[in-house]
Structure 1
Amino acid sequence: MSVLGFGLSIEPQLWALVFVMVRIGAAFIAAPVFGAVSVPVMVRVTLSGAIGFLVLATHQVVPPAQVFSAATILAIAAEALVGLAMGFVLQIAFAAPMLASEVIGISMGIGFANAIDPQNGRSSPALGQFFSIMLTLLFLSVNGHLVLVEMIVKSYDVMPVGAAWMGAEQLKGIAFFGGYTFLAGLLLALPVGFLLLCLNLVVGMLSRSAPALNLFAVGLPASLAVGVIALAMAFPAMGDYMLVIIREALAATQNLVLG
């Protein structure tokens, strides 16, 4: 009877752990670094379970009375929506370097240089991979992954399990933060992009004044050389702005969860 009683008492805790892991796992699927293709699924599940134990230790979580019911399915969908929204906001910010690389790469003449991105497993510009790796390293250096885990745990205070539906204002905030990607990407590419634009104007005027001049033989090597030198000179400032992008993304995630 004692063994039977222990089994009956441990089953609700297991269901509560699985219920809590839905939000955490959804956030890890959508968030950068955690959601990379190179991160095994077993690692994500293990991390979700470890953080789930932390949530159960600090919050009172009541599992659903019936597993296969409409209310339980809606509650699980709400938990997944909250987790996906938290990770998606950070993913939006990580798209800014890709936009900057497109602007710079086309001006430099290396927009055709693509490679497989280890983060998402898709083909992306080589310059964009360099920016993405630097942004990821800066994100880890400022403990952004720990801040994300902290916000996930704190989200259970504002959005308890089973009552975590997101309002229209929160969804509106996600949509408006999507515009920040274009702003951040253009500002990140502004120093190098403006210099390359000036170079293209000069090459265009030279081609008009000397029609016999081979534009591709002169303009493409000049754009590539000036672009590499400009990147080397402007990267300290670009690194500082990448930190601003990370802070804005974490602040947007905090506003989404905590208000």
Structure 2
Amino acid sequence: MSAIFPTTLLSYLNILGIFLRLLGFFMLVPGFSHRTIPPMVKLLLALVVALALYPLLSARLEALPLESLSGIVALALRETILGFLMGFVAYLTFEAIHLAAQFIGFQMGFGAAGLVDPVNHSQVSVLVPLTGWVALMVFFLTDMHHNLLVLFVRSFEITHSIELENFSTVAVAKLLIQKTGELFIVAVKIAAPYTFLVLATNAAVGILSRLLPQMQMLLFVFPVTIFLGICGLYLLAPDLIDYFQGIMDQMGQDVIVLLRTI
């Protein structure tokens, strides 16, 4: 292969492969895909990380099939798709947290008190930005961004010889559908304590309204529900953060499962 491409050109192509996989990865991975980060910063970050990782990955990349222009195009498509899929699996974890925040906000009575998210240009519950930033802090404070970069390096050990025509499309699709379904399960688990609290509050108010029909209990339902919901958020915050850490650890395992499925 060195007879077809000079060694320096081969090195550039290998760096390009790392760069494209990183670029697809950074498009969706939490912490790096935020829309407030300028695209040029993402490009430069992907390029710097690719140059830093190249000495570690160069020995594994020498076997890549680059004998023709079609091989180079296939390399570019493959690396971008792989990075995108890895980022998407990590992205689902944060979407589960956002969905849980929507559930909790609706149960607490914040369904009509939505905010316009300037990042995603959509209306969300007032709790979504709060839980999103808490999850992002847990993500960085627990070094999950480092763990994801380690998984990124390991991805070249698992998938460096995979060709586009050998992609297990059906298996990958089944895995992504399964992980998307688990997104709702995780969201319900996060919101379950607050849902129980709100149901208990509504039941208590219903009993009081039957015992004291002369009182307008409906006037007290919404403020009491919001107050108890905020108290529940405060009291359960440590457990919630621990659970966030657990599902982020599982996120790394899901990325490995995806790579082995491919």
TM-score range, shorter chain: 0.7 to 0.9
Q: Deviations over 1:161-181 (max 9, x none)?
A: 663654233432222122221
Structure 2: distance between partners of 1:171 and 1:157: 22
The SS at the match of 1:226 is helix
* C-alpha contact 1:79 1:161 (8 A) present in aligned 2: no
Pick aligned residue for 1:179 from 163, 177, 181:
181
AA partner of residue 140 (structure 1): F
Cα offset, 1:241, TM superposition: 0.9
Q: For 1:232-251, list aligned pairs within 5 A.
A: 232-251=234-253
The SS at the match of 1:94 is helix
Structure 2: distance between partners of 1:117 and 1:247: 27
Q: Deviations over 1:201-255 (max 9, x none)?
A: 2223444555554344111111111111111111111111111111111111122
The SS at the match of 1:123 is strand
* C-alpha contact 1:155 1:258 (8 A) present in aligned 2: no
Q: Which residue of 1 aligns with 2:102?
A: 102
Structure 2: distance between partners of 1:72 and 1:9: 15
Q: Provide TM-score, normalisation by structure 2.
A: 0.85
Cα offset, 1:113, TM superposition: 2.6
Q: Which residue of 2 aligns with 1:230?
A: 232
Q: Deviations over 1:107-142 (max 9, x none)?
A: 211122333446545432220111111111001111
The SS at the match of 1:33 is coil
Structure 2: distance between partners of 1:135 and 1:121: 20
AA partner of residue 183 (structure 2): T
Q: Which residue of 1 aligns with 2:11?
A: 13
Structure 1: distance between partners of 2:16 and 2:218: 60
Structure 1: distance between partners of 2:215 and 2:90: 47
Q: Percent identity?
A: 23
The question of 1:50 aligning with 2:52 is answered no
* Structure 1: 5+ residue stretches without partners: 1-7
* C-alpha contact 1:192 1:227 (8 A) present in aligned 2: yes
Q: Which residue of 2 aligns with 1:3?
A: none
* C-alpha contact 1:192 1:234 (8 A) present in aligned 2: no
* C-alpha contact 1:38 1:118 (8 A) present in aligned 2: no
Q: For 1:62-81, list aligned pairs within 5 A.
A: 62=64, 64-67=66-69, 69=70, 71-81=71-81
Pick aligned residue for 1:221 from 220, 223, 236:
223
Structure 1: distance between partners of 2:118 and 2:240: 22
| CA RMSD after TM alignment | 2.5
The SS at the match of 1:124 is strand
The question of 1:157 aligning with 2:129 is answered no
Q: Which residue of 1 aligns with 2:86?
A: 86
1:119–1:86 CA distance, 2 compared to 1 (3 A): farther
Structure 2: distance between partners of 1:178 and 1:135: 19
Cα offset, 1:148, TM superposition: 1.1
Q: Which residue of 2 aligns with 1:34?
A: 32
Structure 1: distance between partners of 2:250 and 2:119: 21
Structure 1: distance between partners of 2:120 and 2:149: 21
What is the total number of aligned residue pairs between the two structures? 251
* C-alpha contact 1:12 1:63 (8 A) present in aligned 2: no
1:177–1:162 CA distance, 2 compared to 1 (3 A): closer
Q: Which residue of 1 aligns with 2:3?
A: none
Structure 1: distance between partners of 2:50 and 2:215: 67
Structure 1: distance between partners of 2:204 and 2:87: 44
